[in-house]
Amino acid sequence: MSPTLSELFVSRDVESSLTPNATQRTTLIVAGVYIVVIGLLWHIPFLSWIIYPFKLLTVGFHEMSHAFMGVLTCAHIYSIELDPDEGGVTKMSGGISWLTLPAGYLGSSLIGACLIACGFNTNASKVASIVLAVFFIFTLWWARRNWLTWVLIAGMSGLIVLFWFVGGGVALRFLVLFIGVMSCMYVLWDVIDDTIARKVNTSDASAFAKICGCFPSQVWGVIWLLIAFVFFALGIIVGLAAFKQTAEEQKSDSSSFLPVPGSGALAALPNLFMTFATTIGVVLML
């Protein structure tokens, strides 16, 4: 049966939505370069320290996802802790374990996918940075006694502020894209390393397998890996479909949305960074 006229229009509309323009092709190329560079730096001694802070950040996303799912399932969150060996733990009581356990991997991969999508647009990257700031505040509250978390978030906050002011926010867009790619890749690697390549008895998948009992941890690892791949792909698809502006259009839109100094609309710039710093100070005093 030949396709109907409406089906042809839908097919063409989907095709046009997912066909990258010149700006999006550049973004895809940069994302591809990120994947290659991250993959290389991951396994080269000494040079791996270049991406070490971003590894810790993705661990923070992982633990933060545990904590947020715990809050949503009425758990009591005691603390979040990161350690220099790229490990972390979220201490909580209560909640629904079969939701809080997979939330670490799946939540951090979802965060990465959202950041990848936002990395296709300057204004979306600004919004993503503000959302990250809110996440940072919650994480600092739960990790207020963990010095490494404070150092990490202070450094990342400074980097975001710096990149916000470079190139009218263009640098921020590529930073958000990098963090998104890094988060997704770390999840994929961590799931493979902890559950598929070798069985770690203390991993989230092992604990989840003990609760469910129907599959071993390796099977759950494969399931979570597939979901993480889907999130990764969806981040790219959403970015392609939602943000079709050219670089020039993005520059014009960005000049009037949370602008940087010299954009002509500085008077409309909320004092976001002062508010963030004040909030951190309040958390520290508590």
Confidence of residue 262 (pLDDT cuts 50, 70, 90): low
Structure tokens at 156: 């990342």
- Check pLDDT > 60 for residue 253: yes
| Better pLDDT: 151 or 268 | 151
Longest dimension (CA), the chain: 70
What tens digit of pLDDT does each residue of 50-69 get? 898 998 899 999 999 999 99
Confidence of residue 282 (pLDDT cuts 50, 70, 90): very low
How many DSSP H helices and E strands does the chain contain? 11, 2
Confidence of residue 200 (pLDDT cuts 50, 70, 90): low
Amino acid at 256: S
- Check pLDDT > 80 for residue 2: no
Structure tokens at 283: 């958390």
Q: Tell me which of 4-8, 23-27, 248-252 is least confident.
A: 4-8
Q: What is the pLDDT of residue 197?
A: 67
SS3 of residue 208 by DSSP: helix
Cα dist. 50→162, 237, 242, 281 in Å?
A: 18, 29, 32, 29
Amino acid at 270: P
Q: What is the pLDDT of residue 42?
A: 82
Phi, psi (rounded to 5 degrees) for 94: 80, -160
Cα dist. 162→49, 151, 157 in Å?
A: 21, 16, 9
Q: How many whole angstroms separate alpha carbon 68 and alpha carbon 66?
A: 6
Cα dist. 179→87, 132, 145, 239 in Å?
A: 18, 11, 25, 15
Confidence of residue 199 (pLDDT cuts 50, 70, 90): low
- Check pLDDT > 50 for residue 266: no
Average pLDDT, stretch 262-266? Answer: 46
Structure tokens at 66: 């545990």
Q: How many whole angstroms separate alpha carbon 136 and alpha carbon 279?
A: 11
DSSP 168: G
Confidence of residue 145 (pLDDT cuts 50, 70, 90): confident
- Check pLDDT > 50 for residue 276: no
Residues 174-196 as b or e (16 or more Cβ within 10 Å = b): bbbbbbbbbbbbbbbbbbeebbb
121: region left, alpha or beta (phi > 0 left; psi from -120 to 50 alpha)? beta
Sign of CA dihedral 169, 171, 176, 177: positive
Residue 252: count of CB within 10 angstroms of its CB: 13
Average pLDDT, stretch 135-146? Answer: 85
- Note whether 62 and 39 are within 8 A (CB): no
